[in-house]
Structure 1
Amino acid sequence: MEASADNADDVLLKRPWLSVNISSCQLLSKTWFGETSYRVLLTDMHCVWEERMDAASIHSRAQELNPRLRASVGAFFSHLCEVAEPCLSGRVGAAGCEVQVFLNRKDDGNIHVKLKSELAGLPFHWEFICSPAPVALVCVQLVRPLLVMSRLLQQQVEQLGGLLARKDAEIQDYRENGATLSRERLQTDVFESQTYRESFMSQTLPLL
């Protein structure tokens, strides 16, 4: 077993958000599948949805959606993992059988992701019913990691700017002592961090 359901939050936190496209809707997803339980997180960057299911809930929904199929919860879940994990990680073609995936947005704010495949020669249907996630979960799984990464990238930019400034000072010292470039095309302008930042923002922001 990869991890218990109690540790699913920690496992999800260590996993990246993966890009998926369902019914022409671009989403990011995180999933965790245990032995007979799962967690699904989806976001379109306007809302975050989640679903948590245990063994009893999975068996009940499987029987409800597939009344002609008779199998243990383990058999249902094994097949569900085989077809669902690739679909929710942007690897639809990696599923072990042909899978159809649809997404429906509901008036109550939920989203339903429907899967259709085959199990033992019979149609197998599944439906992920994802509801808006609580603010605390959104902060832990999405907002806080983004803020941390933003701060790390900012520190990296500051360190690189400092390194370039020292390199410029070193080059200037060589020049003052008579050193010249053997190839003029290698000559660069002195790095101005503020000018670079303003230029970068003016060119990048319109594209966002």
Structure 2
Amino acid sequence: MSEVEWRRKWKPDLKACPWQPITIGNQQFLFKCKYTHDSYELLITNNCHFWCEHLEGDELESRTISLNPNVKATPTRILDEIQNCLENPSKKTADIVKMNLNKLIIHVDSQLAGMAFVWEFKCQQADSEMISENFNIPLLAMVAELSRRNDELVKVIDAKDKEIDDYKSQGAKASRKHIETSTFVRTAFENNMIMSKEFEQEVKRLGLSGFSEDNQDLYRQIMTRYAYLTRPVAADETDEDSVNEQKTPSLNSWETSRLPASLTDKSPEKTSPGSSPRKSPAKGSSSTETSPAKDTEMMRRQALERKLEDEERKKNEPKKKKKKIAF
């Protein structure tokens, strides 16, 4: 199964949901939440402790009735409002009722269709495996990918500097002086970044601003690819390559399918009406004796086989890019 087909069938889980910043009271948190038509799974952290909650079905309905006895709404509508409370907290009021190592209770006041709506997230301590799968592994993968992209960008900038130097050597000049740039030096750039005020601000935030929209998309793409690479492989999928190999015609099959019948030595002998069957060679003649016509036919056959082999080899060889000649 190709990755495109797998993505169409795959249903993302909590691990594929990106982290988002949220402020509750005066404290900064990161959270991620996975919603279905009748459930939600929440994971939240203050970068020190991790808490989670999974609520679905009857438990979701029971809490809705106990907190909002006058509200009549479908589970889907309730979950939409819960998602709105988490992702758009500006018009909501959220307070921490209780927070310790083992429990985190968050109280939210909102409105649903003009009526007061109250919700409480009652989260328990998350286990180490859940933390690793949703936080440690993805963040390490993001750091590695961003570092790789940084190296690639440096290569692009170096190539641009060489291109600009070539233009200048031929007498080209910038039309406006303020758009001229100095040659990029990686060490100097990194030192400037460390000494900048923005670097100090990011250190104070302890990475809470690290999940911008672009980084959220990067997180989602990394975890989707990770899920594809670690997917359980079905038996029919493992045999797919071998099946394809069986379907690919071999060189021997080409001999019978593409070569003329006159070259395969397998064409039946044709006899005209009234003619006698072909007689076997005389006893004194040799069975290995060849005629000039047969030699010519054999040479044609070998030449055709070599031509077919060359065509097959050229199809399998990667196409070489033509080098552009600078004038």
- Provide TM-score, normalisation by structure 1: 0.73
The verdict on how the C-alpha distance between 1:181 and 1:84 changes in structure 2, with shifts beyond 3 A counting, is closer
Alpha carbons 1:117, 1:125 under 8 Å: kept: yes
Residue 85 of structure 1: which of 80, 83, 86 is its match?
83
How far the C-alpha of 1:161 sits from its partner, in A, is 0.9
- Secondary structure in 2 aligned to 1:191? coil
Conserved? CA contact 2:51–2:124, under 8 Å: yes
Identity value in percent: 24
Match of 1:109 in 2: 102
Paired letter, 1:191: F
Deviation, 1:85, is 1.2
- Give the counterpart letter for 2:183 in structure 1: V
1:51 counterpart residue number: 53
**Structure having the larger proportion of residues in strand:** 1
- 1:155-181 Cα offsets, whole Å, 9 max, x none, are 221111111111222222333344444
Question: Deviation at 1:87?
Answer: 1.0
What is the Cα deviation at residue 102 of structure 1?
2.2
Q: Partner of 1:206 in structure 2?
A: 200
Structure 2 unaligned regions, length at least 5: 1-9, 204-327
Structure 1 residues 47 and 186: alpha-carbon distance in aligned structure 2, compared to 1, 3 A threshold: same
Contact 2:39 2:79 in 1 (8 A): no
Q: Matched residues in 1 for 2:166 and 2:15: separation?
A: 48
Q: Is the alpha carbon distance of 1:82 and 1:187 closer, same or farther for their aligned partners in structure 2, counting shifts above 3 Å?
A: closer
Match in the other structure for 1:139: 132
Instruction: Note if contact 1:69-1:122 (Cα within 8 Å) is conserved in structure 2.
Output: no
Deviation at 1:121, TM superposition (A): 9.9
Query: What does residue 26 of structure 2 align with?
Result: 24
Matching of residue 195 in structure 1 with residue 216 in structure 2: no
SS of the aligned residue for 1:35 comes to coil
- Letter of the aligned partner of 1:30 in structure 2? K
**Counterpart in 1 of 2:314?**
none
Partners of 1:71 and 1:177 in 2: CA distance? 76
Q: Which secondary structure does the structure 2 equivalent of 1:88 belong to?
A: helix
* Maintained 8 Å contact 2:40/2:79: no
Distance 1:123 1:160 in 2: 51
Counterpart CA distance in 1 for 2:183 and 2:114 is 69
Q: Determine which structure has more spread, i.e. the larger CA radius of gyration.
A: 2
Distance 2:193 2:48 in 1: 26
Distance 1:118 1:201 in 2: 46
- 2:274 maps to which residue? none
Question: Which SS does the other structure have where 2:13 is aligned?
Answer: helix
Give the aligned residue type for 1:163. Answer: V
Cα distance, 1:58 vs structure 2: 2.6
CA contact (8 A) 1:51 1:128 kept: yes
Change (3 A) 1:196 1:107: closer
Q: Aligned partner of 1:33: which letter?
A: Y
Distance 1:76 1:181 in 2: 64
**Residue 184 of structure 1, CA deviation:** 3.6
Residues of 2 paired with 1:187 and 1:119: CA distance? 56
Mapped partners of 1:157, 1:190: distance in 2? 17
**Which amino acid in the other structure matches residue 75 of structure 2?**
F
- Between the aligned partners of 1:108 and 1:145, the Cα distance in structure 2 is 23
Closer, same or farther: CA 36–167 of 1 in aligned 2, 3 Å = closer
2:154 paired residue among 152, 157, 161: 161
Gap change, CA 1:123 and 1:190, over 3 Å in 2: closer
C-alpha RMSD of matched pairs (Å): 3.3
Does the residue aligned with 2:43 lie in a helix, a strand or coil? strand
Conserved 8 A contact 2:17-2:34: no
For the 8 Å contact 1:18–1:90, the answer to whether it is kept is no
CA drift of 1:11 comes to 2.9
Unaligned segments of structure 1, at least 5 residues: 1-6, 94-98
Per-residue Cα deviation, 1:119-165 (whole angstroms, up to 9, x for no partner) = 89997643211122112212222222222222222122111111111
In structure 1, C-alpha distance between the alignment counterparts of 2:109 and 2:164, rounded to whole Å: 65
Q: Does the 8 A contact of 2:101 with 2:125 survive in 1?
A: no
Alignment match, 2:178: 185
Letter in 2 for 1:132: Q
Which residue type is aligned with residue 101 of structure 1? A
